[in-house]
Structure 1
Amino acid sequence: MKRRLFLVLLVFTLAFTSSLTMLGSEEVEANTSLQNKIKSIQEERSDNQSELEKKEQELKALELEKKKLQDEIRVVDNQTTATNQKIREKDQEIESTKERIEELLAEIQLLEERIAERDELLKNRVRSMYKNGGSVNYLEVILGARSFGDLVNRISALSTIAQQDRNILEIHHTEKMMVEEAKLEMEQALEALETQLAELETLKEELEKQRKEKDRLMGKMEQQEKEMHAELGELEEADEILKAQERAMKVELEAWKQRQKELEEERKRQEAERQRQEAERKRQEEVSRSNGGGSQQTTTPPPANTTPVVTGEGQFMRPTTGTITSPYGFRWGKMHHGIDIGKNGRTGDVHVVAVEAGTVIRSYYSPSYGNTVMISHNVNGQVITTLYAHLENRFVSDGQRVSKGQLLGYMGNTGQSFGAHLHFEVHEGPWNGAKSNSVDPLRYIPR
Structure 2
Amino acid sequence: MKQRLFLVFTVLIVAMGSFLTTLGSENVEANTQLQHKIQNIQEEREGNKDDLKQKENEIKEIEREMNKVKDEIRVIDHKSEATNQEIRAKDKEIEATKERIEELLAEIKLLEERIAERDELLKNRVRSMYKNGGSVNYMEVILGAQSFGDLINRISALNTITQQDHNILEIHHNEKMAVEEAKIAMEKELTSLETQLAELEVLKATLEKQRKEKDRLMSQLEEQEGQLHADLGELEEIDEILAAQERAMKQELAAWQERQKQLEAERKRLEEEQKRKQEEASRSGSTNTNNSTESSTPSNPTPAVTAEGQFMRPTTGAISSPYGMRWGRMHHGIDIGKAGRSGDVHVVAAEAGTVIRSYYSPSYGNTVMISHNVNGQVITTLYAHLENRMVSDGQRVTKGQLLGYMGNTGQSFGAHLHFEVHEGPWNGAKSNSVNPLNYIPR
Distance apart, 1:287 and its partner CA: 8.8
Task: Quote the Cα distance in structure 1 between the aligned partners of 2:5 and 2:146.
Answer: 188
Q: 1:345 aligns with which of 340, 343, 348?
A: 340
Change (3 A) 1:45 1:438: same
Does 2:194 correspond to 1:187? no
User: Is 1:26 paired with 2:42?
Assistant: no
Matches within 5 A, 1:36-435: 36-276=36-276, 285=285, 308-310=302-304, 312-435=307-430
CA RMSD of aligned residues (A): 2.8
Unaligned runs of 5+ residues in structure 2 are none
User: Matched residues, percent identical?
Assistant: 74
Q: Does the aligned pair in 1 maintain the 2:308–2:399 contact within 8 Å? A: no
My pick for the range that moved more, 65-74 or 98-107, is 65-74
CA drift of 1:19 comes to 2.2
SS at match of 2:303: coil
User: Which amino acid in 1 is paired with 2:258?
Assistant: Q
> Are the structure 2 counterparts of residues 446 and 7 from structure 1 closer, same or farther at C-alpha, using a change threshold of 3 Å?
closer
**Closer, same or farther: CA 375–69 of 1 in aligned 2, 3 Å:** same
1:228-261 per-residue CA deviation (whole Å, 9 max, x = no partner) reads 2211110110000000000000000111111122
Change (3 A) 1:6 1:159: closer
Count of matched residue pairs: 437
CA shift digits 1:189-210 (9 cap, x unpaired): 1111111111111111111111
The whole-number CA distance in structure 1 between the counterparts of 2:32 and 2:287 is 51
From the superposition, tell whether residues 347 and 144 of structure 1 become closer, same or farther in structure 2 (CA, over 3 Å).
farther
Q: 1:134 to 1:188 in 2, by over 3 A?
A: same
TM-score with structure 1 setting the length: 0.90
Alpha-carbon shift at residue 334 of structure 1 (Å): 1.3
**TM-score for the superposition, normalised by structure 2:** 0.91
CA separation in 1, counterparts of 2:311 and 2:20? 28
Q: What SS does the aligned partner of 2:309 have?
A: coil
Runs of 5+ consecutive residues of structure 1 not aligned to the other structure: 289-297
Higher relative contact order (CA 8 A, sep 6+): 2
Deviates more, 1:37-46 or 1:331-340: 331-340
User: Do the aligned partners of residues 20 and 321 (structure 1) sit closer, same or farther apart at CA in structure 2, a change above 3 Å counting?
Assistant: closer
CA shift at 1:140, angstroms? 2.6
Q: Aligned letter for 2:302? A: P
**CA displacement 1:35-92 (0-9 Å, x = unmatched):** 1110000000000011111211222222222222222111111111111111111111
How far residue 266 of structure 1 moved from its aligned partner, in angstroms, is 3.0
Distance 1:9 1:410, change over 3 A: closer
| Aligned counterparts of 1:283 and 1:20: Cα–Cα separation in 2 | 28
Q: Check the 8 A contact 1:354/1:405 in 2, yes or no.
A: yes
Q: CA deviation at 1:285?
A: 4.0
Q: CA deviation at 1:211?
A: 1.0
1:270/1:304 contact within 8 Å kept = no
Deviation of 1:328 (Å): 1.4
Q: Distance in 2 between matches of 1:97 and 1:286?
A: 131
The answer to whether the Cα contact below 8 Å between 1:390 and 1:412 also exists between their aligned partners in 2 is yes
Q: Which amino acid aligns with 1:434?
A: A
| 1:340 maps to amino acid | D
Q: 1:348 to 1:154 in 2, by over 3 A?
A: farther
